[in-house]
Structure 1
C-alpha cells in the first residue's frame, strides 16, 4: 500500500463565534499511530472533523499528500482516508454486509454496482473485525459493540491509507477492545497506514500510540512520545487531578494511577458499584454528593470509572488494563459486596474478563440493576453471562438509568428506617 502524508498547518476552528481549536500544527506519515487525548470539550472530535472535511477550518489548511482536502472531491478523499465516528446514525434497516459494502462506494463509477471483488474485500474486512457472522442482520438490531465492529469494517473496506477514529473502543467489551486495537496497530505497521485516534482512556493511548497530542481548551498543550506527554505535571494541569505515572513491568508502557482526593464526607450507608466503560461516572458523583460510602470493583486501571473513583477517594478493587479478574481481586470484591447495604450493577458488557463480577453480585443483600439494553446484546460469553444475569435480575430492583438508581436507593433507605 502506497503511504500518504497528512499535514495540519495552523488550523483554527469555531462554531459560530466560539473558538474551539487554535494554532493546531502537526504532521503524520505512513506508519504513524497518533493518539489525541484531552478532557471533554478540549477539541478532540472537532480536530478529526476538520481533517476529514466535515468542518472547514476558519483559518489554516489540512493537506493530504500536499493537496488541500477542501479542494478535493469527496470520493478522492475517501479512497485515501476513512473515518470511524464516535456515533454512527444509519436510518434504514440495511444489513451489516450492505453497510460494509458502502465502504466500496469511492471505488465505483457512477451507477456502478458492487462486484465480486468488492464483496471479497467487504468479507475480508468483516472477518478481520469478527463481524462476518452478522452480515445478514439489520444494522439497527445490533448491539452497540456489534455495530461498532461493522462500522470499523466499513472503514477498512474503503482500503484507506489513513484511518481516523473517534473513541473507537467506547462500545466494545474488553476482548474486542484488544482485538480491534491490535488489528489497527497491525495494519498501521504492516500496511504503513496512518492512524489518528481520539482516546479518553490514557492507558489505552499509552499502550498503542507512537505519539500523543494532548489538547487543552482547543490548543496543543503537549505533543510527542508518551513519556514526554503523559507526565504527572501535564495531567494535573490539564485534567485537574493528581496522578502517579509508572512503567508497566511487562509492556514497558506507562500506566496512569490517579491519586485520591475526596470532596464529601460519607455519612450514609455503604453502596458498592459493579461498573465499567464509564457507565458509573455520574452515579458515583451523585452517590458521593448525597453522602453515601461508595466502593467500586472489580475495574481495570485506566477505565473512566476507575479514574473517577480514585478522584473521589472511593475504595476500589482494581486489575491491570486488559486483564481478567484474578481470584484475589474476586475475593476482595466479594468482601466489599458483603459489607455493602446496597449493590448497583450498571449496564455493562459482560465478557470472560469480567464475568466474575456477576458471580460476586450474587452475594448482594439488596441489588439494583441499571438496565438500558437487554443482556443478550451485551453478552460476549456465549450465553454464560445471560444465565447468571437472569438469576440476578429475578431478585433485583430494575431501573433505567443512574438518576432512577439514586431515587430508588433513597426510597429503599427511607423504608429501611421506618
Structure 2
C-alpha cells in the first residue's frame, strides 16, 4: 500500500520521516489532496497523483497544467485501449478528475480553459455511461439564462430523503459526484446535483456570476425537478465549501427542505474577505486606493493562494477591482438570515481549515435560534479531517453525515 510517506522517495528529506503534506504551499497541497479525495469514488489513483505532484513546483501554474493534463491524457488513452467496461469507465472518471485539476490555476481567460473543461466533462459522462451509472441531466430555466442539474436516482426504491447538493466557490457539478453523490447512491439515496450562477458551465458558457441570494437558483432547480418527479417525503440540502453559506441561505427561504448541511460551516464570508483585505481598506480610507491594485499584484506574486483566490473572485463575482470583490463578498453572511432557518441543521468544521476560521462554527450555532435541531462535527488533524471540506477524509465525514440522516430522517 502506497501512502503519503512514499513522497520521501520522490523528494529529498532531511531526516527520513514520512510526509504529511504534498506541498508546503497550502493552496497547492489542497488541490493535490482534492484529487486524492476522489479515490474512494473511483475518481483517482494514489501513485498517479503522487508521481504528478512530484513534477510540479508550487506557484508554477503552467507546469501544474502540463503535468495534470498529461496524466489525464494517459488515462484517456488507457480507457480507449481497455476492453473491460469497468476498467474503461474508471479510467474515464480518473481522466475527468485530472483534466479538472489541470485547469484550476490557469488565469480565468486563458484560452486553454474551455478545451480543458470540455475534456473533463466529456470524460465524466462517458465514464458514467460506460459504468452503467444512471443519471438524468437537464436544464433549469433561470430568467434569460439557464442553470444545469444532474439527478442520480436511487439504486433501490428505498424511502429515503432526496439529497440536493450544490458546490461552492470553485467546484463543478460533475465533481459533486465524487464528493457525495456516489456514496449516497450506494446507500440507497437519490441525489440531485446542480450548478448555479458563478459555477461550472453556467459561468464559463453564459458568464453568469454568483449571487448571494442563493434561494433563487435553488428554488428554480427544485421547482423544475418537481415538475417531472414525484415529491419525496423529505428533502435535505447540502452545500460544499462556499456552499456552507449558500445552502443554509437557500433553506432559510424555502421550507420544502427538511434538513440543511453546511459542509463546512461558513457563517460569514464577508468577515474573511475584510480580514484578508485589511491593508487595502486602510489604503482606501486615506485616499490611496490607486495603490491597491499594485499591492494585490505584489502579494499574488509571492502567495499563490492569494493570487488564485483574487483572480477567481474577479471571475466568479464579475468584479474587476480587488476591493470590489471584498465589498461584494460582504453580502455573503448568515448573520441576519440564520434566524429564519427552522430545519434540522448539520455542520462540519476542520481545525486546519485554510478558508473558514473555526470560530465561525460557534457564531453559526449561536445564530440558529429557531432551528429544529443543531448538530456540529469538528475534526482534528489526527482524525484526518482537519482540512477544508475534510479533503482526503471523505469516509470520515460521510459516516457522520449518513448517521445523522438516519437519526433525523430514518424510516
Q: Could you tell me the TM-score, scaled by structure 1's length?
A: 0.36
**Bigger-Rg structure (1/2):** 1
Higher strand share: 1
Identify, as 1 or 2, the structure richer in helix: 2
